Each structure stands twice: as structure tokens, then as C-alpha cells.
Copies of this chain bind each other. A is one copy, B any other.
Amino acid sequence: MKNNFKIIAFDADDTLWVNEPFYRETEKKFFDLLQDFGTPEFLNEELFNTEMQNLALYGYGAKGLTLSMTETALRVSNQRVNAKTIAAIVNLGKELIQKPLVLLEGVEEVLKTLHKSNNRLIVVTKGDLLDQERKLLNSGLGQYFHHVEIVSDKKEENYQKLLKKLEVAPDDFLMIGNSRKSDIIPVVNIGAFAIFVPYHTSWQHEEADKIESSHCLEVAHIKEVLNIIEW
């Protein structure tokens, strides 16, 4: 793979900092709240279905999850769930938004090194804008990034629009992230480059098979990025 780029873009959640485990924890508490109405497996399926149905309306992020949990609670209980449980669900969502920021190991070293050598680094994320700005502020990583780009989804068309906005050719754009579906496959498909850094926990909506391409690499740890990119 080539080793220099005009823009190096990092996914945020579970690439720079911990996110998915907090979502799993929130869901587990939600299943506990609703244990009178079904097993965790049943509730998980119901919640996932609600989220998929609402995705076009709500997009990604904690607010959409909170609304989908509320809707799922109403449905699986045949509207018998009580107000206290609804209040607890709304609070679960607020707790999720306020989780501490936990940086992933090696991230700061990689960003510092690339930034020092004048690589232009940006964040590209499909989370909620306010959530992501708060996380970036709490992470202390803001100094390394030129700016943050929030996209409503990470499909080929979203990357195409982004590259046009950034006025950068696909050949000069590298994306680094933990979702093959969102950070790797669409990027490679539009002719840009990608490095996959897996994370141990991922949302079932983000799962996709490995692809073979001279435009992408898979590494075990984010520090390996420094063996690939010129700095």
C-alpha cells in the first residue's frame, strides 16, 4: 500500500476510545428492567429490530437508542410497562451520554507522531455531533486533529460527498477504523485507502467479511499504523 496521504481520517468510537462496551452495558441494564416481559435474547432481538426500523429516522447515537429502547419497552409489554420503568430507560440514555472517556492504548502516540510530521489528521464519525465533540474535548486529542467530520452514514455516497467537500482525490485519502462495513469496504470501493484496526466488541449492524484489496490492510493494533504510514 502507498505510504503518504493528504488526509488521514480516523473513525472515533472504538478506534480512538471505548464506546461499544458502554452500549452493551446499557442494553444489559435495559434487559434487566424488562425481565418481566422476556428473556435477554428475546429483548435483544426486539431492540435490534426497533433500531433497524428507526435507523432512517433517528440515525446513530445515544438519543436514538434511548427512543428505540422506550419504543421496545412499550411494544413488548403491550403498553403495560409502568412510568417508573420508562423513567429508568430515559436515565439509562443520559448515563450513556455521560460515560467517562477511555482512550484506547497507543492512540495518542500514533496521533502525536503523525501530527508532528505534518500529516493532516481528521475525525470521521457517524455518531451524534454533540456526543462526538464532547468526547473529543474530554479525550484531549483535539490538538492533533484539523477538524471533525460528522456523516449521517458511512456508505460510498457519504465518502464521495466528503472527499468532494474536502477537495481531496481518493488516492490521497486514508481511513483508519474498526468497522469493515463502515470504515473499510466503502472507502476501498471509491478508490481510497483504508486500514482496519479491529476492536473486541462490535455492534451486529457493523459486521462484514474481510476483503482483499491492494487499497487496504488489516493490523492487530493501532500502533502498527506507524509502520505503514510515512512520518
Contacts A79-B84, A97-B57, A165-B147 given; does A129 touch B129 at CB 8 Å: yes
Chain A 10-53 interface 0/1 with B at a Cβ cutoff of 8 Å (1 = within): 00000000000000000000000000000000000000000000
Q: In chain B, what residue has the closest Cβ to A132?
A: B152
Q: Which of A86-94, A195-203, A213-221 contacts B (4 or more CB under 8 A)?
A: A86-94
What residues of chain B lie closer than 8 Å to A59, measured between beta carbons? 128-130
A1 to B74, CA, bound (A): 56
Q: How many residues of A are counted as interface, with CB atoms below 8 angstroms from the partner's CB atoms?
A: 36
What residues of chain B lie closer than 8 Å to A172, measured between beta carbons? none
What residues of chain B lie closer than 8 Å to A113, measured between beta carbons? none
Q: Which residues 138-192 of A have a CB within 8 angstroms of B? A: 146-147, 150-152, 161, 164-165
Contacts A63-B67, A128-B59, A133-B152 given; does A87 touch B83 at CB 8 Å: no
Say yes or no: is A3 at the interface (Cβ < 8 Å to chain B). no
A84 to B97, CA, bound (A): 27
Stoichiometry, copies per complex: 2
A161 to B59, CA, bound (A): 25
Q: In chain B, what residue has the closest Cβ to A152?
A: B130
Q: A64 to chain B: closest CB distance in Å?
A: 6
A110 to B80, CA, bound (A): 53
Contacts A63-B63, A90-B74 given; does A150 touch B165 at CB 8 Å: no
Say yes or no: is A70 at the interface (Cβ < 8 Å to chain B). yes
Mark A residues whose CB is within 8 Å of B. Answer: 57-59, 63-64, 66-67, 70-71, 74, 77, 79-84, 86-87, 90, 93-94, 97-98, 128-130, 133, 146-147, 150-152, 161, 164-165
